[in-house]
Amino acid sequence: MPQIDDEVPRHIAIIMDGNGRWAKSRFLNKAAGHRAGAQALRKLATEAEKIGVKYLTVYAFSTENWKRPQDEIETLMNLLRDYIQQYIDDTKKNDMRISVIGETARLADDLQAKIKELEEMTAAKKGLRIIIALNYGGRDEIARAARKAAAMVMSGSLSISAITESYFESFMDTAGIPDPDLLIRTSGEMRVSNFLLWQCAYSEMYFTDKLWPDFTISDLKEAIAQYKGRDRRFGARKE
């Protein structure tokens, strides 16, 4: 029986940054960096599941990443296609449940269909839950949630005073998913870049200089060790 440590954060969110710099340092093109990044994620997910992580939310493509050169966007979308297809092919072999958050309507039709297929195929799985943020922006998510609530108020099915924090949460892409306990960002940048703005209100932050393709399970364990030493107060006074 593997030992499950109950102090392991239940939900870890990761801003997987540094693929470009990783490639540059090796005199490779950006595509090679993104490919290495996708491999790092696949490996890490399996290892994270083994140590007892229940939810892993990863930032794969932001609403701002459309500003990048067209060929890089195409490379990223093709990698995501392959990544999702691999999980579709492997659904029998593993117990992971995979879903996507973000404004998926802007993605190519075939990619949307693949996402739907994978979500449906894994919906009843009980293992690690992987949440891929794809064309995701925290502000966009909040604005979309506000539009859903406003439409219900306009139609008379929701009263303004019923829009509490917990009810509003039900309009978010992450409805029903507990907030991240730990947010990790690789590559030395210390910002959230529009990731999970609502959900990370009380997440512990961990920044590392490691570039994403070099991030391994031992780096994740180091982040978890630091997390365990943190005192989470949620605004309250302890003693």
Helices H, strands E: what count in the chain? 7, 6
Provide the minimum distance between the beta carbon of 13 and ligand IPE in the complex, in angstroms, as a whole number: 11
Tokens linked to 191: 């910002």
Shorter beta-carbon distance to ligand IPE: residue 55 or 59? 59
Shorter beta-carbon distance to ligand IPE: residue 59 or 87? 59
Shorter beta-carbon distance to Mg ion: residue 17 or 181? 17
Cβ distance 122 to 98 under 8 Å? yes
Shorter beta-carbon distance to ligand IPE: residue 17 or 173? 17
46 vs 60, 115, 175, 190, CA distance in Å?
17, 20, 24, 27
Per partner kind, with CB cut-offs from 5 to 8 A, the member of ligand IPE, Mg ion, none near residue 76 is ligand IPE
CA dist., res. 239 & res. 232, Å (int): 13
Cβ distance 182 to 227 under 8 Å? yes
Tokens linked to 196: 């999970």
Measured over the CA atoms of residue 81, residue 83, residue 86 and residue 88, the dihedral's sign is: negative
* Whether residue 65 lies in the annotated active site: yes
Return residues touching ligand IPE (CB under 6 A): 15-21, 59-62, 65, 76, 187, 189, 191, 193
Closest-by-Cβ residue to Mg ion is 17
Binders of Mg ion among residues 6 to 65 (CB under 5 A) are 17
Per partner kind, with CB cut-offs from 5 to 8 A, the member of Mg ion, ligand IPE, none near residue 213 is none
Q: Which helix (H) or strand (E) holds 37?
A: helix 30-50
Tokens linked to 122: 């894994």
* Whether residue 95 lies in the annotated active site: no
Provide the minimum distance between the beta carbon of 34 and ligand IPE in the complex, in angstroms, as a whole number: 6
Q: Tokens 């007892």 belong to which residue?
A: 52
Closest-by-Cβ residue to ligand IPE is 20
Provide the minimum distance between the beta carbon of 40 and ligand IPE in the complex, in angstroms, as a whole number: 11
Quick one: residue 135, left, alpha or beta (phi over 0 = left, psi -120 to 50 = alpha)? left
Catalytic residue among 6, 19, 65, 109: 65
Catalytic residues: 17, 65
Binding site for Mg ion (CB under 5 A): 17
